[in-house]
């Protein structure tokens, strides 16, 4: 099984990566995540853009390839940040697992889980907070004003958390990715004037995925309960808001220093180069 990572530069570059406490934290998380995935599965791939490839190569992580297909996203608004993931999904031609940079597989996923056509972190049911507040208003907005919505839009009453996206059904993967890009191509300019585009990402990423999976009747596996207190279970960790936490950032850096000293030095050299 191939594990895929993606990084689309949507902020101020590596000096100030979006949604992380600092660059060192993001790089430390990348090192820990990639090396654990490589340990379990033996194949890791990065899909990124040309400018980011330059610094990713300097880390010397064991990627079998570093692809620059995300250069093709230049015409899109970078507030639609999850497009990098969708593009990375779309170029896959074999079953794969996409893992976010803030997700760590300390243990391999179970055989039972990965036998499903699709497996994700968890369901996000709209019957309870905070999921209903995250999704329902934007689903209603798209229902009334959006174009090219997937068949069955509004019928499905849950989304998926795609901190991890494992897909064995490539027909589904193709339809899902095509649906997202068709929606973006026909709606981005319109919605840009009335709603922050970053707020719509969870709709066309995590809700479209659930709608299409429901419509196709896919077998779906999940890692953790929707009502988790902390997204950590069975060797699985998703940092989420802890990406902003200074103490967690320090702990990750120290972990890399102790367990992966050669990569700690690579991070130091890379950050020194940026200054």
Write down all domains in the chain, each with its CATH number in brackets.
2-273 (3.90.550)
Q: What is the mean pLDDT of residues 176-196?
A: 93
Report yes or no: 120 and 222 within 8 Å, Cβ to Cβ.
yes
For 44, residues 6+ apart whose C-beta sits below 8 A from its C-beta are 2, 3, 4, 5, 34, 37, 38, 61, 62, 63, 64
Of the segments 11-20, 80-89, 187-196, which one has the largest average pLDDT value?
80-89
pLDDT at 234: 67
Residue 84 CA from chain centroid, whole number: 8
User: pLDDT tens across 226-248, in order?
Assistant: 776 655 566 889 998 889 899 99
What are 46-87's pLDDT values in tens digits? 999 999 999 999 999 999 999 999 999 999 999 999 999 999
Find where tokens 């809700």 sit: 207
Cα end-to-end span (Å), the chain: 38
Q: Running DSSP on this structure, what letter comes out for residue 188?
A: H
* Beta-bridge mates of residue 82: none
pLDDT tens by residue, 94-124: 999 999 999 999 999 999 999 999 999 999 9
* 37 touches 103 (CB < 8 A): no
Confidence (pTM) = 0.94
**Residue 78: half-sphere exposure toward Cβ, Cα within 13 Å:** 13
Question: What pLDDT is stored for residue 232 in this prediction?
Answer: 56
């Amino acid at each position: 099984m191939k594990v895929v990572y993606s990084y689309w530069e949507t902020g101020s570059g590596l000096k100030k990566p979006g949604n992380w406490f600092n660059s060192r934290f993001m790089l430390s998380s990348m090192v820990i995540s990639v090396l654990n995935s490589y340990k379990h599965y033996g194949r890791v791939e990065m899909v990124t853009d040309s400018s980011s490839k330059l610094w990713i190569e300097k880390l010397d992580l064991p990627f079998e390839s570093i692809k620059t297909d995300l250069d093709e996203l230049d015409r899109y608004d970078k507030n639609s940040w999850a497009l990098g993931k969708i593009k990375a999904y779309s170029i896959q031609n074999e079953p794969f697992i996409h893992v976010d940079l803030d997700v760590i597989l300390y243990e391999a996923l179970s055989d039972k889980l990965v036998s499903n056509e699709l497996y994700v972190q968890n369901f996000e049911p709209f019957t309870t907070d905070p999921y209903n507040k995250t999704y329902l208003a934007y689903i209603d907005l798209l229902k009334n004003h959006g174009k090219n919505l997937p068949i069955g839009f509004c019928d499905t009453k849950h989304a998926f958390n795609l901190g991890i996206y494992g897909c064995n059904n490539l027909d589904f993967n193709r339809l899902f990715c095509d649906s997202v890009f068709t929606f973006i191509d026909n709606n981005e300019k319109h919605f840009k004037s009335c709603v922050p585009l970053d707020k719509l990402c969870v709709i066309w990423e995590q809700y479209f995925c659930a709608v299409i999976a429901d419509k196709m009747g896919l077998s779906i596996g999940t890692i953790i309960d929707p009502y988790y207190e902390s997204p950590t279970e069975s060797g699985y960790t998703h940092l989420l808001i802890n990406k902003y936490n200074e103490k967690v950032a320090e702990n990750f850096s120290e972990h890399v220093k102790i367990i992966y000293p050669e990569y700690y030095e690579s991070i130091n050299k890379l950050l020194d180069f940026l200054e």
